[in-house]
Amino acid sequence: MTVPEAGPGPETAARPWDVWQLFFETTARLTTEIEARLKEHGCSLMDYQVLLLLWNAEDHRLRMGELAQRMVFSPSRLSYQIGVLEKRGWVRRRRCPQDARGLEAELTDEGLRAFRRLRPAHARDVEELFLRALEGDDADRLAAVMDRLARTLA
Amino acid sequence: MTVPEAGPGPETAARPWDVWQLFFETTARLTTEIEARLKEHGCSLMDYQVLLLLWNAEDHRLRMGELAQRMVFSPSRLSYQIGVLEKRGWVRRRRCPQDARGLEAELTDEGLRAFRRLRPAHARDVEELFLRALEGDDADRLAAVMDRLARTLA
DNA sequence: CGCCAGTAGTTCAAATTTGAAGGAAGTGGT
DNA sequence: ACCACTTCCTTCAAATTTGAACTACTGGCG
């Protein structure tokens, strides 16, 4: 309203700080709900994300450090998480051939089956709770913003 | 590239699932970094958000339940958080006059001062790490998407 | 009034997360 | 070969988070 516009401009001139608060709160609600639904199938969202990264990786394995980077986990947090998944039989630790300091986390056959079992329900949840809210070129616009954010953070 | 377009369409047709992953990962990086910076001033992001909500509230007070809703916290989590802030002298618990079951969390004078001390640095961080990435009408578009997400979750 | 289902918060134990410290192995200079 | 430095990951204690009881109070109904 304060800035003259040519043509039909946006109805709402969102105040930047409100956008941040809305982003923060909505993100919390979204991940909380998705996590709650996934947990009914016996898996936390972080568990799932680890499985997903391993699933996508060459030979279903990744170096611990690489995994920690991608998950935005501290080393100790990743160590704990992998420990949990290992006890559950979904992941195995292997010493890395190239570098005896390092370890690789590898999806077991059981982990593979668990992932395949979990995926459909989780995909539907993300679909329903997140993707459905994206209209028109929202996906592209959102991706562009996230890319810019990621670049700032790098 | 796979879909014929009339005129100069968007360069990138982001695949929905990738958008979700990017959103999830970038959000994690962003909040992790903002939290790290805030902690150098001796306050967690959740502490700050509680202070902010109380700051904005009538008489700087809110019912525990209301606060829990807005923070997306479980009752026990809020109870713990308020306990921490209370020990630090930033917040006080008062029995609610209208309903003897309930409590209100109220900002103390010291809490007020703490918030005013924290705010500038945090504002700069959010500015630098989040708001700067928003170009053109990104803020409005993002707000619209978040609104739609929130409505789905309600 | 007296009972009772429902509401508001707290508490407790178990699970997770953090951050500092440690142990094992690579790397590079001498 | 040796030593200092770095990298990779784990471990440990303390802080936080979760989820299931548990306590205190309300409001409505007989």
User: pLDDT, tens digit, for every residue of B22-57?
Assistant: 999 999 999 999 999 999 999 999 999 999 999 999
Q: Which amino acid is at A119?
A: R
Using alpha carbons, list the distances in angstroms from residue B14 to A79, A142, B9, B18. 33, 9, 12, 7
Whether A82 sits with its Cβ under 7 A from any strand D atom: the answer reads yes
pLDDT at A35 over 70: yes
Using the structure, give the distance in angstroms from the CA atom of A70 to the C1' atom of C30, rounded to a whole number.
Answer: 39
Give Cα separations from A63 to A77, A89, A97, A102, A107 (angstroms): 15, 18, 11, 7, 12
Interface test with B, best of A145, A147, A148, A151 (most B CBs within 10 A): A145
pLDDT at A11: 59
CA dist B91 and B112 (Å) reads: 9
Chain A CB contacts of B130 under 8 Å are 20, 23, 149
> Mutate which of A17, A26, A55, A56 to disrupt the B interface (most B C-beta within 10 Å)?
A26
pLDDT score at A75: 98
Q: What per-residue confidence (pLDDT) applies to B102?
A: 96
- Given an 8 Å threshold on Cβ–Cβ distance, is B142 in contact with A137? no
Per-residue confidence band for B6, with pLDDT thresholds at 50, 70 and 90: low
Q: Could you tell me the pTM of the whole model?
A: 0.90
Question: Cβ B140–A12 below 8 Å, yes or no?
Answer: yes
| pLDDT number for residue A6 | 54
Q: How far lies A39's CA from each of A43, A114, B153, in Å?
A: 5, 13, 17
Nearest Cα neighbor of B90 from B66, B114, B71 is B114
Q: What is the pLDDT of residue B68?
A: 98
The C-alpha atoms of residue B88 and residue B83 are separated, in whole angstroms, by 9
CA pair distance B146, A133, nearest whole angstrom: 8
Q: Average pLDDT for residues A22-27, to the nearest whole number?
A: 97
Predicted confidence band of residue A154 (pLDDT cuts 50, 70, 90): confident
Q: Is the CB of A152 under 7 A from strand D?
A: no
At residue A21's C-alpha, the angle toward residues B111 and B141, to 5°, is 165
For chain B, give the mean pLDDT.
93
Pick the range with the lowest mean pLDDT from A48-52, A85-89, B133-137.
Answer: B133-137
pLDDT at A7: 52
CA of A77 to C1' of C23 (A): 18
Token representation of residue B153: 């979750």
Q: Give residue A55's pLDDT.
A: 97
- How many whole angstroms separate alpha carbon A71 and alpha carbon A51? 11
Instruction: Return d(Cα A85, Cα A60) in angstroms, integer.
Output: 14
- State the nearest Cα–Cα gap between B142 and chain A, in angstroms: 7
Cα-Cα-Cα-Cα dihedral sign, residues A41, A45, A51, A57: positive
Number of helical (H) and strand (E) elements in chain A, helices listed first: 6, 3
User: Per-residue pLDDT for A2 more than 90?
Assistant: no
Q: Is the CB of A65 under 7 A from strand D?
A: yes
